[in-house]
Amino acid sequence: MNKKPNIKNLTDSQFFELIQSQKQPGYRAEQIRIALFKQKISDFDQISNLPKGFREFLSDNYVVNALKLNKHRQSQDGSIKFLFDLPDGNSIESVYMPWYDNDEEAIVRETLCISTMAGCSVNCAFCATGKLGFKRNLDVAEIIDQIIEVERFLNTKLTNIVMMGMGEPLLNYNNSIKSLEILTDPNYEMFSRKRITLSTSGIAPRIKQFARSPRPVKLAISLHATDNGTRDLIMPINKSFNLEILMDSIEDYYRITKIPIMYEYILFDGINDTNDDIKRLTKIARRVPSRINIIPFNDISFTNPQGFPATLRPANREKMNWFASELRSQSVPVIVRDTFGGDIEGACGQLALSDKLKILQKIV
């Protein structure tokens, strides 16, 4: 018996065929989409402006919900890690991150970090997701439902989205871009393009293609090194798209979109934290308007890393502040980030992988 498809995955042409097959007027397609993405209904019976017979047809042939919440963990800093089960038995993660005002009383921004893959194929040395291996790309419904399910669970309206969770968004290009088109569609009132950031390890051809997409968003480059030799070790994808190729695509992205770039830079003790790195990073930051995010390293020792990944150690806070100060002295905008959810396995892939390891331990 075939499983019913998720209606959120239908293309424009598939929606047209659906409406025609049921002899419904064309405007029904947009009524359904508004119900799905603006009203965020969880059942077809909630679409009260559709004829009852049509609602019954939709219920018989399609599903609305793509995810099932497995567990969630809340950190002392207010962040919440969600582990969702997919219909095929795979799991994905999302992380809710509240940002407080200076008095730490009122939440001024609510950000959700979402996944675009189950597992990942890029295998960065510092990331637990890569240890899961690549399972599959998420479809449009699975990407968007992370947002809908978290908003429903927390009874809130998220203000910002970052595609920085499990997976490389630009290697799941079509579904990632289609999701962004839905999320930024004015008819659904979900998010402004200014409120969404896509993080990439540096898939240069896709960066150029993304610049020419209907609604490009802010781009975050997972950089983490300033020379090819070091970046080859930290991020093997650099062997396919080295820094020279990557920077060419970044300049193209800014030239087309005029959106400033964010560089993510995990500071590792004794590896990418030297004066020479500061000089090279300054040159990189000056090529287009940009900002550097210096990020603490989240421990992945529970994955039993081997080889180079086993040598990675976080730079201490004093080194991070010095590194940032030196960049600022060169007029480079820098933010030193704190880690969200360190006490709840908050980094990408940590909860899914630890959950998998616990299951395997029980089996053994």
Beta strands in 66-131 (DSSP E): 68-74, 80-85, 91-100, 107-113, 117-119
Rounded Cα distance between 303 and 55, Å, is 47
Are 70 and 84 spatial neighbours (Cβ–Cβ below 8 Å)? yes
Minimal CA–CA distance to 132: which of 356, 308, 344?
Answer: 356
The per-residue pLDDT string of the chain (364 residues; one tens digit each, 9 = 90 and over) reads: 458 999 999 999 999 999 999 999 999 999 999 999 999 999 999 999 999 999 999 999 999 999 999 999 998 888 999 999 999 999 999 999 998 876 666 788 999 999 999 999 999 999 988 888 899 999 999 999 999 999 999 999 999 999 999 999 999 999 999 999 999 999 999 999 999 999 999 999 999 999 999 999 999 999 999 999 999 999 999 999 999 999 999 999 999 999 999 999 999 999 999 999 999 999 999 999 999 999 999 888 888 888 999 999 999 999 999 999 999 999 999 999 876 656 655 455 455 555 544 433 333 3
Contact at 8 Å (CB) between 171 and 117?
A: yes
Is residue 120 annotated as a catalytic residue, yes or no? no
CA distances from 138 to 64, 80, 91, 219, 250 (A): 16, 21, 11, 20, 26
Domains of the chain by start residue, with CATH: 7-61 (1.10.150), 68-363 (3.20.20.70)
Residue 284: the pLDDT is: 98
Active site residue 348: yes
Set 113, 120, 127, 348: catalytic member: 348
Cα three-residue angle 130-135-140, rounded to 5 degrees: 110
The per-residue DSSP string of 244-276 comes to: HHHHHHHHHHHHHH-PPEEEEEE-BTTTS-SHH
Given the residues 17, 93, 142, 181, the one annotated as active site? 93
Query: In Å, how far are 183, 220, 251, 278, 320 from 335, measured between CA atoms?
Result: 27, 13, 22, 15, 10
Cα 202 to Cα 221: distance, rounded to the nearest angstrom: 6
Would you state the pLDDT for residue 152? 97
